[in-house]
Structure 1
């Protein structure tokens, strides 16, 4: 009896295969419909809280106009947007998607994080979006960017969170920490608009896109934006400390790192010390190499700015420096940055 290596398919096999393909197709369609419906629901919920921000400005004696987006985060009209959208603003006008317009005043701005806070000049209770806890974000989660660049309708792009904890250089040169990278494309005019999750909560404030690079868009994390909002409401500004030094990045030789058991590859070299400033009062000198501040390793100038937040103003901190190959500790009391 001969045995064939080929299987003979009958009509029932073909029917089962066809049914299986149909089932997979239905499952794919259902998944796509569920994704689409989730995005639509989020856009319907958040769009009323997104505003077009139109600015008349004066920079260097030259008048001009600019625009961007913003998101209302409280019913009494608190709005988050980008600092670069309202920089130099003489007047600010807001437009909602339904065509309603009202003015706004600038409560405060923070160039270091590219965040600004506005107050809508209206007595109406406004639709608003809630801020999420950005510490809970994970790469791969859905991210939806919403802007209102025309003032009449929202623009929407959807994608995923590509990475969290990125750093981005602000226009003033400071490093913004805890930045979200997403592949949800940012359209012109989307700056200052919200990046939201599948629950319709704001996870970031859209701030930048790298021109010429596909899929590299960034948003300032909602926790950072909330911190700036709280500081501005409390003090009218974000309070930060200063040491009174001019410094530059230096590379630590391997032998010094090994001898002192240092983990960082670099530190900052103090070029000059402000007379009568905190560093001068503490005994720091030009030529010292700052390797740690208040127990935090200092690998670059940005690390100093990161450590000297509001809670360090007028409070004692330990500055650890290298001087002539010797590791020394000095007690310093940072002052508030003007």
Structure 2
């Protein structure tokens, strides 16, 4: 039977409709398999990085007027910022200005859990600080990239606590590289990344990310009065500074003889490569050689110099250190090293009082000279009588946990003045101090008065029985 033209037209239309339906179904199936078209690279980056970003809140106590000790008054100032988890044990990087002079640092994790943090190291010049969160379980860690190969014009993403709105996401581009930004006579930022991603108050300390989901910098500043001009500390600079800060905390505790640098391999993965091994060290005796790669230390993955230093942070000279090492041929071996402490004769307290304070509280100190105190009072417009300059802080001690640092001037605890080690010894051994649960202390740091709270009653009772 021959089909008439109209019938042929209807058949052709039916065939086209059927083909279109099949194509639509195939396209829908392909879209379902690959994810929604709305799932852009930025969405994937934010989803991956957000669990490693924390929000920081705190209150700064500032002097509102009057002279300390003579009817002075203080007021609380709210502060906020952002931090990035860089070690699963709860170590966080942020800007120092976010936590400077903050008495009680509160952190909110990405899942909404609250936590308390303390500053364990900082660098005023570069405005970086390392915090420690008392984490009950391993925390997700940010992926770290490099700032060495950035392109002007490439897309970047910022995550932060903008104006207190947690985990605010903004995007922009790398606007320029190697910017120097003066702040005041005492501080300036150098070699920064300029970005058009919106950075607002509260974003400080948060990550700037590339489209691979890697952190390429720590957001630090904006140009006041301008739009779309913000600045970020390059991640390579951050890694170098933080590695140095952590190394300063471990150098007097342990030595292994290994030095190395971060390098990137052909797979675009960072590695920690040994550049030298000290003669006579345990590493040399166990066969660690230049060019070897350190893969793990006591179960902690090592991907860069910062990871290497953090892996050492909680170890002591009594701990065995197990390295997973890959040589230049790719052979992987386990090397067990026994650390040896650096000579510390200069840190040994010379008197029974100094030894008692070093053991029970964790500091060494010396009285501040009268002329030095007068100079401090003149610069700060205060009228302090005397103080005890902290010359050393024992890692892991009560003083260390409360954030005291070498160079701080301890003015007093509660109503007692601390003008000497004997004063401090008397306070720590007093019944009034030991019977309390919390004691307020006052220190001078960077020409500013800071207030903290000691919770040392239990340890003080044990130490002085």
With structure 2 as the length reference, what TM-score do the two structures score? 0.42
- Give the corresponding residue for 2:57: 54
Of 89, 93, 116, the residue aligned with 1:76 is: 89
Report which structure shows greater RCO (CA 8 Å, sep ≥6).
Answer: 1
What are the Cα deviations for residues 285-308 of structure 1, in whole angstroms up to 9, with x where unaligned? Answer: xxxxxxxxxxxxxxxxxxxxxxxx
Deviation of the 1:187 alpha carbon: 2.6
With structure 1 as the length reference, what TM-score do the two structures score? 0.57
Deviation of the 1:153 alpha carbon: 4.1
Q: Alignment partner of 1:154: what SS?
A: strand
Structure 2: gaps spanning 5 or more residues: 1-30, 64-73, 251-465
Of 110, 126, 148, the residue aligned with 1:97 is: 110
- Assess, with a 3 A threshold, how the Cα gap between structure 1 residues 66 and 123 changes in structure 2: closer, same or farther: same
- Assess, with a 3 A threshold, how the Cα gap between structure 1 residues 173 and 57 changes in structure 2: closer, same or farther: same
Q: Alignment partner of 2:138: what SS?
A: coil
Q: Alignment partner of 1:224: what SS?
A: helix
- Assess, with a 3 A threshold, how the Cα gap between structure 1 residues 150 and 185 changes in structure 2: closer, same or farther: closer
- Give the corresponding residue for 1:183: 196
What are the Cα deviations for residues 114-162 of structure 1, in whole angstroms up to 9, with x where unaligned? Answer: 1111111113100110221111112111110101347774101111101
- Give the corresponding residue for 2:41: 38
- Assess, with a 3 A threshold, how the Cα gap between structure 1 residues 52 and 151 changes in structure 2: closer, same or farther: farther
Deviation of the 1:188 alpha carbon: 2.7
Contact 1:159 1:184 in 2 (8 A): yes
- Assess, with a 3 A threshold, how the Cα gap between structure 1 residues 94 and 172 changes in structure 2: closer, same or farther: farther
Q: Alignment partner of 2:104: what SS?
A: strand
Deviation of the 1:173 alpha carbon: 2.8
Q: Alignment partner of 1:162: what SS?
A: strand
- Give the corresponding residue for 2:217: 204
What are the Cα deviations for residues 217-271 of structure 1, in whole angstroms up to 9, with x where unaligned? Answer: 001111111112111111149xxxxxxxxxxxxxxxxxxxxxxxxxxxxxxxxxx
- Cα RMSD of the aligned pairs, angstroms, is 2.4
- Give the corresponding residue for 2:238: 225
Q: Alignment partner of 2:103: what SS?
A: strand
Does residue 64 in structure 1 map to residue 77 in structure 2?
A: yes
Deviation of the 1:96 alpha carbon: 1.7
Deviation of the 1:171 alpha carbon: 5.4
Higher-Rg structure is 2
Deviation of the 1:170 alpha carbon: 4.2
